[in-house]
Every structure is written in structure tokens, then in C-alpha cells.
Amino acid sequence: MASLSTSLLPQYTPQQLSSASALAPTSFPISFRSAATLTLSVKPPTTITCLSTSQAQAAVATARADSRITERSEIRLGLPSKGRMADDTLDLLKDCQLHVKQVNPRQYVAEIPQLSNLEVWFQRPKDIVRKLLSGDLDLGFVGLDTVSEYGQGNEDLIIVHDDLEYGDCRLSLA
């Protein structure tokens, strides 16, 4: 099973994040390979400022010394860098009319031209979970098994979709 995981963004509730209505007024439906349909809202000229919970906590801890919080203007999305999970995730995004543009296949950073303030990071799945926890990534596609193993039971990880119908794993005991 594959999951879309996101770190908790303090300025939006989970309901606002899943509906995306707080992000933009323009909506269009996206059909997946299964019968499910997702409505994605996009407003290209708008820039969303993102500050993860971990960064906010670190900023509060150091605010006395620094008295300013560092914010990013882009949202960072973690995608698997290799293997079948990577291929299936890129296919899913293509089916959603979101083409990932990677200038050089050896680079680990890419973009989705339709989403101007989104930066794509290609990482190993376990590193995606770790970077979600540290606040380096805001969203990520990883398997539920990876979230369970490396998520450390952290309540800041929100599983938005628990089954994308690809990336199955098998547990074998010997």
C-alpha cells in the first residue's frame, strides 16, 4: 500500500489541506486508475508560505537568541527516487496532468510547471519520512509500511490517502 504523507502545517487544519479549498478557488477533478476522484485546486500566481511544525518549534526555541523565524516560499514534495514505487508515483502524477520536469536525471530536485511554488525532491522512501519529521519536506509519497517503520509514531505525520493501489509490500518471516 502507498500513502501520501504530509507534515502538519500550522496555518491549515487537516480538513483544509485535504479539500485544498483554502489554497485556491479554482478546482478541477482528477481521476485515478481506481474509481476514486480527487478535486485539486490550483491558483498559479499565488505563493503559499509554508512553515512546518518542527521548524516552528525550533524557531520558538531559538527565537530569544535570533528573534526571527525563517520561512520558505515553496512547498517541498518528496517522491521516491528509484524503483517501481518511483515509476508508479510519476505515472500517477501524469494521470493527474501534473508532469514532473527533471532537467537532469542525475539531479534530485525537479519541478511541476503547473504548480509554480512547488519543489520536488527525489529521495529514498525512508529519507522522505525523516525529512517530513525534520520539516525539510512538507508532503511525500511513501508506503504505509515506511511511515510505520520510520515515522516513530509521530502525530505530526498525517496519512492523507491510505491506499493508492500500487507499491504493495510483502512481509516474509523465515
CB 162 within 8 Å of CB 170:
no
Q: What is the pLDDT of residues 144-167, one digit of tens each?
A: 888 888 888 887 788 877 777 777
**138 assigned to some structural domain:** yes
Report, as an integer, the average pLDDT of 42-69: 41
**74 assigned to some structural domain:** yes
Q: Name the band, by pLDDT with cuts 50, 70 and 90, for residue 97.
A: very high
- Compute CA distances 71 → 68, 92, 135, whole Å: 10, 30, 11
**pLDDT at residue 70 in the model:** 60
CB 80 within 8 Å of CB 35:
no
**pLDDT at residue 56 in the model:** 41
**168 assigned to some structural domain:** no
The number of C-alpha atoms within 13 Å of 75 and in the hemisphere containing its C-beta is 19
Cβ partners under 8 Å of residue 8, min gap 6: 14, 52, 53, 155, 156, 157, 158
Tell whether the model's pLDDT for residue 174 goes beyond 90.
no
- The backbone torsions φ and ψ at residue 64, rounded to the nearest 5 degrees and listed phi first, read -65, -40
Tell whether the model's pLDDT for residue 5 goes beyond 80.
no
Tell whether the model's pLDDT for residue 81 goes beyond 50.
yes
Domain residues for 27? 2-161
Pairing verdict, β 157-161 and 2-7: antiparallel
**80 assigned to some structural domain:** yes
Q: Does 78 or 18 have the greater pLDDT score?
A: 78
**174 assigned to some structural domain:** no
Which amino acid, 137? L
**pLDDT at residue 121 in the model:** 97
**166 assigned to some structural domain:** no
Report, as an integer, the average pLDDT of 1-19: 42
**91 assigned to some structural domain:** yes
**172 assigned to some structural domain:** no
DSSP states along 31-45: E-SSS-EEEEE--TT
Number of domains in the chain: 1
Cβ partners under 8 Å of residue 71, min gap 6: 49, 50, 51
**pLDDT at residue 89 in the model:** 93
CATH code, 107: 3.40.190.10
